[in-house]
Chain A
Amino acid sequence: MSLLTVENLTLQFDTDEGRITAVENVSFAINSGEVLGLVGESGSGKSVTAKSLMQLNPENSVYSPESNIQLELESGTVDVLSLKKSQEMVVVRGGAISMIFQEPMASFAPAITIGGQMVEQLLIHTSMSKKEAAALSVEMLERVGINEAAKRFNQYAFELSGGMRQRAMIAMALSTKPKLLIADEPTTALDVTIQLQVLDLMKDLVAEFGMAILFITHDLGVIAQVADRVAVMYLGGIVESGPVAEVLRSPSHPYTKGLINALPKIDALDEPLTPIPGDIPSPLERPPGCVFHTRCPEVIADRCNATVPTRTEVAKGHDASCFALEVKEKAA
């Protein structure tokens, strides 16, 4: 049984301009000790998907009745979407699931010390005394490679550099020993040399604590370096998923192929950059059929714009949702 199972997640937002579909029919599972990468461009619904796991989406969100998110804990199975009261949510929010965000400056309270914030959440989620919580927090800060942890513990977020803030964020997220860590673009705001340090740290921590990570990023290179499996999202749906090496070496969905071709590669300077034609459609004007058909180079007339493609297994554990694959399969 997987730690987390998401089935047929469909999420819409009620807005003044009508009901917008942000996520449509998304299913995936994460096992303990596994890093699942979620890639996609802005507006593809990756963050919204992750936030649904803790019901952090705004009030105007509407989940379809078929949506199901299950979390397998020692105390039993939790049906996340059925939780209503915020007291019930404590089991999930910050308890079984922790989250680290893209902009660590915006996620720390500016007027409370780093240590104060770390202790606060430990008091809520564990039965520790204040003293024990403080000791554990300093230990965690040391663990993530922050020098003079005891001094940093009493400092405010603005006194730390960007890389250090992100480390403190990770230390804080891990101190409650979550089963699942959601990392939403954790290295996007960092310089490459610091990004490398943080990614290495996260890999070490997965090995040490044995938790699962849902790693959200737009950078395929980062995914290649940290994830075990990857799911590619476009306009609210998963178009392809599978083991990282497989998906990156032999991408099956035209969108995944397009993303890889558009990436400037340092070892192939002579190859021209091939952008994906057109722009990502507005969620208000979601194309019918396959959502990618408006930009797809392999589009099949009268088919892709009418019916939604289903998942086709390309190899073991590697699926893609595309009609062109079915055609190839029949031909083979």
Chain B
Amino acid sequence: MTDKPLVQVENLNVEFALGRTWFGKPPILRAVNDVSLDIMPGQFFGLVGESGSGKTTLGRAILRAVPISSGKITFDDAEVCYDVGSLLKKDLKNYRKLAQLIFQDPYAALSPRMTVRDIIAEPLEVMGLTQTREETDERVRDIAAKCRLNLEHLRRFPHAFSGGQRQRISIARTLVCNPDFVVADESVAALDVSIQADILNLLQSLQDEMGLTFLFISHDLSVVAHICDHVAVMYLGSLVESAPTRKLFANPSHPYTKALLSAIPSLDPDDSGKAQKLEGEIPSPVNPPPGCKFHTRCPVAEDRCRTEVPEWRELSDGHSVACHFA
């Protein structure tokens, strides 16, 4: 691992204007608010948060799937160095090859009218990466084997497959163009636990084999704990804590991270009632609370939290947090 990040996000803002009003400006939804993070080559970077925290939008902004309002995203893989926000035509096309996305729902992501072979081959054909049909077939067979798909299955249609197999097809399609960087957005959330474990193990072995870098977006902290090297926690569009996985789980410093961790239902019935309960729900991102955005639900909030935005500061090597009391 080099010390230069593969993806560097600096002060990123993503805003959406909501509808139009007759007078004045439309309300602005700040989905991602002043986020900075570094993703190192070969890292399994986890991004967690509740629904509405902006994790998906951040992932999409990095892939240039939503427009960036301000801030900078740099992609640097030793061969090319891109300023993702201002990429045009040819460079953007090349970037699409290098940075890919795995979807959440393997039932919705695969066209029912295409065979598995055609689904996996489509990116190669669209991007013009192969010249002949033989070459395409070989790439497809190669990646299918890596994703532990039976080669017999390539001729069938998606409806013949179970959720786990579909997700493997979806992963094969993502990886067939040999990307450097993959955003996996809730890629195991729709799967049963026995299959979830299988897909997580597959992602890990593919990472080793193909030298991939992952941004793994999930709401499930126990999944993230198992697969990621580094975890960032988002709340209402901002990062609240970021640390290497072990550090974060051994020593969570932000009250929101603590609450999230303790809210995971424990397998031990004796732990019942020990969880730290958060009152209320995530506020609307159109009208976020002033000061620290978490103060409306925070168990340790004081007057200062209601007015003063906490600074993003480093507690120890690689472990940063935005809280006045951490």
Which residue numbers of A lie inside 8 Å of B, CB to CB? 41-42, 161-164, 191-197, 199-200, 218-222, 224-225, 244-245, 248, 258-260, 262-266, 269, 272-276, 279-280
Contact = CB atoms under 8 A, between A and B. Distances in A.
Contacts of B277: 193, 196-197, 200
B267 interface: yes
A262 B195 CA distance: 8
- Among B51, B269, B282, the most chain A Cβ lie within 10 Å of the Cβ of B269
A262 B222 contact: no
The SS class assigned to the A binding surface is helix
B219 interface: yes
Contacts of B249: 266, 269
Q: Closest 4 CB pairs between A and B?
A: A221-B265, A275-B198, A276-B194, A41-B192
B206 interface: no
Interface stretch (B8-16, B75-83, B160-168): B160-168
- Among B197, B223, B225, B265, the most chain A Cβ lie within 10 Å of the Cβ of B265
Contacts of B271: 224-225
Interface in B192-243: 192-198, 200-201, 219-223, 225-226
A191 B194 contact: no
Contacts of A258: 194
30 contacts: A41-B193, A161-B281, A163-B281, A164-B281, A191-B282, A192-B263, A193-B260, A193-B263, A193-B277, A194-B50, A195-B263, A196-B263, A197-B277, A199-B265, A200-B277, A218-B193, A224-B269, A225-B265, A225-B271, A262-B194, A262-B196, A262-B197, A264-B220, A265-B222, A266-B249, A269-B225, A274-B197, A275-B197, A279-B165, A280-B192
Contacts of B278: 193, 196-197
A21 to B, nearest CB: 18
- Among A220, A260, A276, the most chain B Cβ lie within 10 Å of the Cβ of A276
A219 B201 CA distance: 20
A265 B265 CA distance: 11
Given A224-B266, A266-B249, A275-B201, A193 B194 contact: no
Given A191-B51, A262-B193, A269 B198 contact: no
Interface of B: 50-51, 162-165, 192-198, 200-201, 219-223, 225-226, 245-246, 249, 259-261, 263-272, 275, 277-279, 281-282
B226 A269 contact: yes
Contacts of B246: 269
Given A192-B219, A196-B275, A264-B197, 5 more contacts: A192-B264, A194-B50, A196-B278, A276-B194, A280-B162
A170 to B, nearest CB: 16
A275 B267 contact: no
A243 to B, nearest CB: 9
B124 to A, nearest CB: 27
Given A192-B260, A266-B261, A42 B50 contact: no
B46 to A, nearest CB: 12
B163 A220 contact: no
Contacts of A191: 50-51, 219, 282
